Amino acid sequence: MDDSKRKAQILVVEDEASIRGGLCDVLVYHGWQPTAVESGEEGLELGLRELFDLVILDLMLPGLSGLDVCRKLRTRLPSLPILMLTAKGSEDDVVRGLRCGADDYVTKPFSVRELVARVEAQLRRSSQADDNERFEFGPWEIDAPGLNAHSSNQTIHLSQREVDLLRVFGQQAGRVVSRRTLLQQVWGLINVDEIETRTVDVHIAKLRKKLDVTGTRTIETVRGAGYRATV
Ligand code: CA
């Protein structure tokens, strides 16, 4: 367990006492420091007042909903990682959550393993500032500071924005990423309108054209939802 992990402060907003307690136990067990509240109002107030490394936010809350809390936190704190808890099988909830600015989601009932993996991914993302950052994306090895991608027999140049896009797809590990999420995480835009989502389409189209020269399809469009890495 490293220092950065031990210090991470996590705000848990969940109205069901048993789930709230269970979440806190898991977080403590893995070396994080949870602070739990049971209402959206408290979550919003505390989230804006104190510095958290991550918020785990239940979508279904009485009073101020998880979506409202998410939207309001996101407006004020664009880089705060927000992990949404949604009901199993509710694709609508997931899409709405991501549209409101959630970075990721876990469906209930969740496995401890999945939850921990998603928490770790979000904490890693927020502490990313690595001068030697390299990551794989399908047949490509991405050299982030060098803005290059290398495959077995070629090297292509990428823009900073393209590297940022690939990083998000890599972190989402095959999940659908909404255009809104991409606009927030890659462009740093909040409160985006529909027209701006075209920007994402244009960039993805260019990026695909570059990457897919190896013959491997890398990113697919998921109608009405966004994009997903297929590698
Ligand atoms: Ca709930």
pLDDT of 54-66, one tens digit each? Answer: 999 999 999 999 9
User: For residue 24, how far is its CA from the centre of ligand 1 (angstroms)?
Assistant: 15
User: For residue 90, how far is its CA from the centre of ligand 1 (angstroms)?
Assistant: 14
- The three-state (H, E, C) secondary structure of 186-209, written as one string: HCCCCCCCHHHHHHHHHHHHHHHH
User: For residue 27, how far is its CA from the centre of ligand 1 (angstroms)?
Assistant: 18
CATH 3.40.50.2300 range(s) for the chain read 3-128
Indicate the average pLDDT of the chain.
86
Find out whether the peptide bond into 109 is cis, omega within 30 degrees of 0.
Answer: yes
User: For residue 15, how far is its CA from the centre of ligand 1 (angstroms)?
Assistant: 5
- Residue 219's pLDDT band, with cuts at 50, 70 and 90, is very high
- Spatial distance between the Cα atoms of 190 and 206, rounded to a whole number of angstroms: 23
CATH of 3-128, one of 3.40.640.10, 3.40.50.2300, 2.40.10.220, 3.30.70.1450: 3.40.50.2300
Q: Which residue has the higher pLDDT, 186 or 163?
A: 163
What is the model's pLDDT at position 2? 47
Checking if the pLDDT of 193 tops 70, the result is no
* CATH architecture for segment(s) 134-229: Orthogonal Bundle (1.10)
- The three-state (H, E, C) secondary structure of the chain, written as one string: CCHHHHHCEEEEECCCHHHHHHHHHHHHHCCCEEEEECCHHHHHHHHHHCCCCEEEEECCCCCCCHHHHHHHHHHHCCCCCEEEEEECCCHHHHHHHHHCCCCEEEEECCCHHHHHHHHHHHHHHHCCCCCCCEEEECCEEEECCCCEEECCCCEEECCHHHHHHHHHHHHHCCCEECHHHHHHHHCCCCCCCHHHHHHHHHHHHHHHHHHHHHCCCCEEEECCCEEEECC
Q: Tens of pLDDT along 198-209?
A: 778 888 998 999
CATH 1.10.10.10 range(s) for the chain read 134-229
User: For residue 58, how far is its CA from the centre of ligand 1 (angstroms)?
Assistant: 6
Checking if the pLDDT of 227 tops 80, the result is yes
What is the model's pLDDT at position 188? 67
What is the model's pLDDT at position 189? 65
32: tokens are 């994080």
Q: Which residue has the higher pLDDT, 187 or 41?
A: 41
User: For residue 230, how far is its CA from the centre of ligand 1 (angstroms)?
Assistant: 33
User: For residue 86, how far is its CA from the centre of ligand 1 (angstroms)?
Assistant: 9
